[in-house]
Amino acid sequence: MEKGELFQLKGSILTIKVPAELDHHLADEIRRQSEEIQNEHNIRQIDFDFGQTTFMDSSGIGLVMGRFREIQLTGGTVRALHANERVRKILKISGVSRVIEVVPEKTWKI
Amino acid sequence: MEQTNEMMMEFDSRSCNESFARVAVAAFMTQLNPTLEEVADVKTAVSEAITNAIIHAYDNQVHKIRLECRLEGKTIEIAVTDFGKGIPDIPKAMEPLFTTRPELERSGMGFAFMEAFMDELAVESQVGKGTVVRMKKTVGNRSPFEED
């Protein structure tokens, strides 16, 4: 997994392109790389882009909540973007959607 | 009597096998003609049980995990067995948000997800011997008018 494919840094906003399946195997990998980036840069916001994601388990919850806890200490925020029905269900059951902003798959602009 | 179908597999407790295991179960259960959501529910539950075995039972060392599936009528029964360290206090382990490994960013939601996504969940464990997680789900018993 190359860093370039998964992470996008724009100013102080880090976007994490979540892969199709976010389980323990990939969550560990993303956590390690994300921590490296967070140590090297002043990140104020982390956006998880779930646009490609069709599967997520509680390891994904651990990843999102881990980033939330870290960035919250310095007043930053975490968002979940392009979350489809499945991802929203997982975020809801685990209570994560109560503490971070969840933006659904399609947001219609008029 | 309703027809049954069974499968069993054993694989190494490597995290790369998590996706293999849940996809195998998903493929096996297509015989029940489940909805996409039912398949996703079962995949999540299987993923949780396998992940628990890898991280907690075996502490990331490589040993064997056994996965058994049985179809009967519209029901799938799944058993995930490890031969690892066992769970000393099962009710505690099943409490939402309880985790013994916060440093690994475990959310403590594994058993809660298994319970939420399956119809039945039973855990047997013996310290030093291992753990069996049994889960059951009947597909197609949801009313189309039911909401989440």
Taking only the tens of pLDDT, chain B with its 148 residues reads: 578 999 999 999 999 999 999 999 999 999 999 999 999 999 999 999 999 999 999 999 999 999 999 999 999 999 999 999 999 999 999 999 999 998 888 999 999 999 999 999 999 999 999 999 999 999 996 555 555 5
Task: Confirm whether B86 is domain-assigned.
Answer: yes
Which residues of B fall within a CB distance of 8 Å from A88?
none
Q: Rounded CA gap, A90 and A106, in Å?
A: 18
Task: Confirm whether B125 is domain-assigned.
Answer: yes
Give all strands of the β-sheet with B4-12 in edge-to-edge order.
B4-12, B64-72, B75-82, B130-138, B120-126
Task: Confirm whether B143 is domain-assigned.
Answer: no
Task: Confirm whether B111 is domain-assigned.
Answer: yes
| pLDDT score, position B2 | 72
Q: Provide the token pair at B134.
A: 């049994």
| pLDDT score, position A104 | 86
Domain that holds residue B65: 4-138
Total domain count, chain B: 1
The segments of chain A whose pLDDT lies below 50 read none
| pLDDT score, position A3 | 58
Q: How many CA atoms lie within 13 A of B122 on its CB side?
A: 7
Contact across the interface for B48 and A90, Cβ inside 8 Å = no
Contact across the interface for A24 and B54, Cβ inside 8 Å = yes
Q: Among residues 34-93 of chain A, which lie with CB inside 8 Å of chain B?
A: 55-59, 61-63, 65-66, 86, 89-90, 93
Residue in A28, A89, A94 closest to B107 by CB: A94
Q: A7-10 and A13-17 as β-strands: parallel, antiparallel, unpaired?
A: antiparallel
Residue in B18, B37, B104 closest to A25 by CB: B18
Q: Which of the 8 DSSP states describes residue B103?
A: G
Q: Considering B66, B68, B72, B106, which one is annotated as catalytic?
A: B106
| pLDDT score, position A4 | 62
Which residues of A fall within a CB distance of 8 Å from B18?
23-25
Task: Confirm whether B147 is domain-assigned.
Answer: no
- CATH, domain range A3-104: 3.30.750.24
| pLDDT score, position B8 | 98
Q: Provide the token pair at A37.
A: 């980036």
Task: Confirm whether B98 is domain-assigned.
Answer: yes
B52 is known as an active-site residue: yes
As a dihedral over the C-alpha atoms of residue A35, residue A82, residue B26, residue A5, rounded to 10 degrees, the angle is -40
B30 closest CA partner among B89, B76, B62, B93: B76
B16–chain A Cβ distance below 8 A for any pair:
yes
Which residues of A fall within a CB distance of 8 Å from B106?
58-59, 62
> Distance, in angstroms, between A53 CA and closest chain B CA?
12
Q: What is the CA radius of gyration of chain A?
A: 13
Task: Confirm whether B53 is domain-assigned.
Answer: yes
| pLDDT score, position B3 | 86
B39–chain A Cβ distance below 8 A for any pair:
no
